[in-house]
């Protein structure tokens, strides 16, 4: 880790910048909450923003004012307004990096998909509980996977292989929020979870150069799900309506 001097001129003096080769994609921000009459001053002196070392590239100097503002807002009480401002700043920072990518590519560690936030508890259903049920009943409890409600608004549920913060490969199952409704019977929710689990048990394979995801064996085993017909019917008839409701609410 190295301490920085080159951008000090524009940097607020309550903030210390550090660069880390171990930080891959994102930054880390730490500050101590102090108490007492000088608390405001003290906490500002102790704030440390640790950035991936490639952020030092001169091409990225424009992201720093955004990062300073982000740090400033982060130390305040987190209202929904401030959270929104932070998200917008993050978006602008990543956009600036994206724009400069071709000029600084040598310094950026290999791109990987960021591991999403894991949220198993929804408004009506907990996907972890139903994953455990399906795993026990159909896979002898042997499947290893991380399951979450999707962060996107849409009807898509999916399975993907991701790398977590420790560099380990992890199966990630993401379930459409369209299933997180009171009108969704457990048999339907477990149906989609079973389908995604099956992608782990019956991995995609290649036939004549073509990737087969839902092959013969997959379709055969899919029908072993006890409430297959109920799930398919619900998926076709009710899910699209629920997704439309979500989209309306999001507007
Ligand atoms: Zn599938």
For residue 120, the CA-to-ligand 1 centroid distance in Å is 20
121 in any annotated domain: no
Q: How far is the CA of 200 from the centre of ligand 1 (A)?
A: 10
Q: Can you tell me the distance from the alpha carbon of 125 to that of 224, in angstroms, rounded to the nearest whole number?
A: 23
Instruction: Provide the pLDDT for residue 35.
Output: 62
One domain for residues 31 and 84: yes
Q: Are residues 136 and 239 in the same domain?
A: yes
Same domain, 158 and 102: no
Q: Are residues 11 and 97 in the same domain?
A: yes
Q: Do 101 and 138 share a domain, yes or no?
A: no
Cα dist from 172 to 110, 114, 162, 190, whole Å: 20, 12, 7, 16
* Residue 13 confidence (pLDDT): 80
Do 188 and 133 share a structural domain? yes
CB contact at 8 A, 127 and 145: no
Final residue belonging to a domain, choices 74, 107, 140: 107
CA of 190 to the centre of ligand 1 (A): 14
Domain containing 87 equals 2-107
The count of other CB atoms within 10 Å of the CB of residue 163 is 14
Contact (CB, 8 A) for 54 and 109: yes
The count of domains in the chain is 2
The verdict on 27 and 96 lying in the same domain is yes
Domain co-membership, 138 together with 213: yes
| CA pair distance 116, 150, nearest whole angstrom | 9
Distance 173 CA to ligand 1 centre (A): 11
Is residue 52 within 8 A of residue 20, CB to CB? The reply is yes
**Does residue 243 sit in the same domain as residue 170?**
yes
> Per residue in 80-91, pLDDT tens?
999 999 999 999
Tell me the CA–centroid distance for residue 107 and ligand 1, in Å: 36
Token pair listed for 85: 């401002």
pLDDT in tens, the chain (251 residues): 444 444 444 788 888 899 987 776 788 888 776 666 666 665 666 788 999 888 988 889 899 999 999 998 988 888 999 999 999 999 999 999 888 887 777 666 655 556 788 999 999 999 999 999 999 999 999 999 999 999 888 878 999 988 877 778 899 999 999 999 999 999 999 999 999 999 999 999 988 888 899 999 999 999 999 999 999 999 999 999 999 999 998 87
Residues 94 and 12 in one domain: yes
Distance from the CA of 43 to the center of ligand 1, in angstroms?
50
Any domain includes 178: yes
pTM of the model: 0.57
Structural domain contains residue 23:
yes
pLDDT recorded at residue 246: 94
In-domain check, residue 120: no
Q: Among 78, 107, 136, which residue terminates a domain?
A: 107
- 3-state DSSP call for residue 161? strand
Q: Any idea of the CA torsion for 83, 87, 89, 93, to the nearest 10 degrees?
A: 150
Length of the chain: 251
142 and 220 part of one domain: yes
pLDDT of residue 152: 84
Q: How far is the centre of ligand 1, averaged over its atoms, from the C-alpha of 249 (Å)?
A: 27
User: How high is the pLDDT of residue 43?
Assistant: 60
CATH number assigned to the domain comprising residue 193 = 3.30.2010
- Short-list 42, 87, 47, CA closest to 71: 47
Q: Is residue 114 part of a domain?
A: no
Between strands 146-149 and 169-175, the pairing is parallel
CA 213 / ligand 1 centre spacing (Å): 7
- The pLDDT of residue 37 is 63
Torsion angle of the four alpha carbons 172, 174, 180, 186, in this order, in degrees rounded to the nearest 10 = -60
Of the candidates 107, 139, 160, which is a domain's last residue? 107
Q: How far apart are CA 67 and CA 151, in angstroms?
A: 25
Amino acid 227: pLDDT = 98
Asked, for residue 203, whether it belongs to a domain, the answer is: yes
Q: Tokens at residue 200, please?
A: 């782990």
Do 90 and 147 lie in one domain? The reply is no
């Amino acid at each position: 880790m190295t301490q920085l001097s080159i951008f000090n001129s524009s940097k607020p003096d309550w903030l210390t910048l550090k660069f880390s080769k171990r930080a891959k994609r994102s930054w880390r921000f730490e500050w101590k909450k102090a108490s007492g009459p000088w608390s405001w001053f003290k906490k500002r002196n102790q704030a440390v923003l640790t950035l991936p070392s490639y952020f030092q590239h001169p091409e990225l100097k424009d992201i720093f004012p955004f990062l300073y503002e982000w740090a400033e807002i982060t130390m305040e009480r987190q209202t929904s307004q401030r959270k929104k401002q932070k998200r917008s700043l993050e978006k602008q920072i990543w956009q600036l990096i994206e724009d400069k990518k071709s000029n600084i590519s040598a310094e950026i560690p290999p791109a990987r998909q960021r591991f999403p936030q894991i949220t198993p508890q929804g408004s009506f259903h907990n996907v972890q509980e139903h994953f455990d049920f399906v795993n026990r009943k159909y896979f002898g409890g042997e499947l290893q996977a991380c399951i979450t409600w999707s962060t996107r608004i849409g009807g898509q549920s999916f399975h993907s292989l991701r790398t977590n913060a420790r560099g380990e490969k992890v199966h990630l199952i993401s379930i459409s929020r369209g299933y997180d409704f009171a009108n969704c019977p457990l048999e339907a929710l477990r149906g989609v979870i079973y389908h995604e689990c099956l992608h782990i048990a019956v991995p995609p394979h290649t036939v004549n150069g073509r990737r087969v995801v839902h092959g013969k064996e997959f379709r055969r085993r899919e029908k072993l799900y006890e409430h297959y017909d109920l799930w398919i019917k619900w998926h076709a008839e009710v899910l699209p309506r629920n997704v439309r409701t979500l989209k309306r609410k999001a507007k």
